[in-house]
Amino acid sequence: MDYRASLEQEFFNEADAYKRNAIARLEASTKTVADFLNAPLSQTFLVHNFSIGVRYCLEYLPKGTRVLTLKEDYPSLLNALEERQLNVTTVPVTVDVEARVQEALRQAHFDVLVISMVNYTTGLKFNMKALEAIKKAHPELLIIVDGTQWVGTEAIDVQNSPIDILVGSGYKWLLAGFSSGYLYCSAFFFERFKLDPTVLWERIFVGHFDYLGAASLAFAVQQLQQWDFEQLMIQKHALDAQLQKGLEASGRLWPLTLQRKAHSGIFNISGTEEDVANLQKKGVHCSYRGTGIRLSAHFYNTEEEIEQLLQLL
């Protein structure tokens, strides 16, 4: 908050000089985020949010492109697909979702696979090894991933991943505030559509841009690194394990989570909207998603807070 306020004050003081230096600032911010994702600078872009970022890429898909996606995925993602004249097939989010996706790809030809790495409702995390196997079996498949619920929970290495497009908002685990999104596109994406990265850059940054949001994302990434991001994630994952164990003991955890070998740090438990309101009155920040209550912990939470939550439940 202090950093954003200082930027606003700097803009007020410098006025036109601030605007003239804006592109240099944007490039510096982009490099910070690109390094965090281990992505080439020329293939990384800072966007306002996931919803806008993913649409920049989907516009290059020709009419009739065969797309495979998940039925209960992020609404804005599904809406973006529905807005275009694409041939979309969905696979339900189940315990064996990776196997279902692989079977669908074996049964029919698809041009694009679109998924959220971590499902925003259930917290189900798509297995990276399975995604690598999918890319190996179908090298011409364009893989688009929503990273909003994933990036900021572990180290990301997009250059050495099967992901062709990684796009997300930074307000979640990265703690970067609003108007802070990122977009990475692989060399395969640019080759597929015969594009030069500068074309996408000029398309995204036409006119004036939200330099405050871009700088905020870069600042947040730098701050996490200064605090030792790896150690923060060890702390977060320990809290995730404590929370999952407690929720399992309470009998409220969804079977989908219980039956998976690995899960993210987002949990959905049985409960009503009234339960959410009661928890919020007690100081628990949670949401009603799907047919249950969505809960998660970040590195700033404590073991004592997890126990307090379990007692309230």
Residues 200-239 have pLDDT tens digits of: 999 999 877 888 899 999 999 999 999 999 999 999 999 9
The predicted structure's pLDDT at residue 132: 98
83 close to 62: Cβ distance less than 8 angstroms? no
Count CB-CB contacts under 10 A for residue 262: 8
Burial of 181 (0-12, 13-18, 19+ CB in 10 A): buried
116 close to 110: Cβ distance less than 8 angstroms? no
* Domains of the chain: total: 2
Count CB-CB contacts under 10 A for residue 277: 10
Domain boundary among 162, 196, 226: 226
Is residue 265 domain-shared with residue 123, that is, in the same domain? no
Token pair listed for 99: 């196997």
pLDDT in tens, 95-117: 999 999 999 999 999 999 999 99
SS (H, E, C) 56-99: HHHCCCCCCCEEEEECCCCHHHHHHHHCCCCEEEEECCCCCHHH
Domain boundary among 200, 226, 252: 226
Please report, for the domain that includes residue 8, its CATH number.
Answer: 3.40.640.10
Is residue 53 domain-shared with residue 199, that is, in the same domain? yes
Is residue 259 domain-shared with residue 117, that is, in the same domain? no
Is residue 192 domain-shared with residue 240, that is, in the same domain? no
User: CA dist 241 to 27, 234, 257, 310, Å?
Assistant: 38, 11, 13, 13
Q: What percent of the chain has pLDDT over 70?
A: 100
In the predicted structure, residue 186 carries a pLDDT above the cut 90: yes
pLDDT in tens, 12-38: 998 888 878 888 999 999 999 999 999
Please report, for the domain that includes residue 235, its CATH number.
Answer: 3.90.1150.10
Is residue 13 domain-shared with residue 106, that is, in the same domain? yes
Give the count of alpha carbons within 13 A of 31, CB side only: 6
pLDDT in tens, 127-173: 999 999 999 999 999 999 999 999 999 999 999 999 999 999 999 99
Is residue 93 domain-shared with residue 167, that is, in the same domain? yes
Q: What percent of the chain has pLDDT over 90?
A: 88
Token pair listed for 18: 């601030």
Sequence-separated (6 or more) residues with CB below 8 Å from residue 216: 3, 4, 7, 170, 176, 177, 179, 180
Token pair listed for 263: 């899960």
The predicted structure's pLDDT at residue 18: 81
Is residue 194 domain-shared with residue 245, that is, in the same domain? no
Sequence-separated (6 or more) residues with CB below 8 Å from residue 257: 122, 123, 124, 244, 263, 267, 268
Domain boundary among 208, 226, 244: 226
Is residue 126 domain-shared with residue 263, that is, in the same domain? no
Token pair listed for 274: 């009234």
Is residue 284 domain-shared with residue 157, that is, in the same domain? no
SS3 265: coil
Q: Global pTM?
A: 0.95
Residue with the larger pLDDT of the pair 228 and 255: 228
The predicted structure's pLDDT at residue 210: 87
Domain with 30, as residue range(s), is: 2-226
Tell me what the mean pLDDT of segment 56-66 comes to.
96
123: left (phi over 0), alpha (psi -120 to 50) or beta: left
Spatial separation of the C-alpha atoms in residues 121 and 119, rounded to whole Å:
6
Sequence-separated (6 or more) residues with CB below 8 Å from residue 4: 177, 212, 216
Q: Give the single-character DSSP code of 41.
A: G
The predicted structure's pLDDT at residue 92: 95
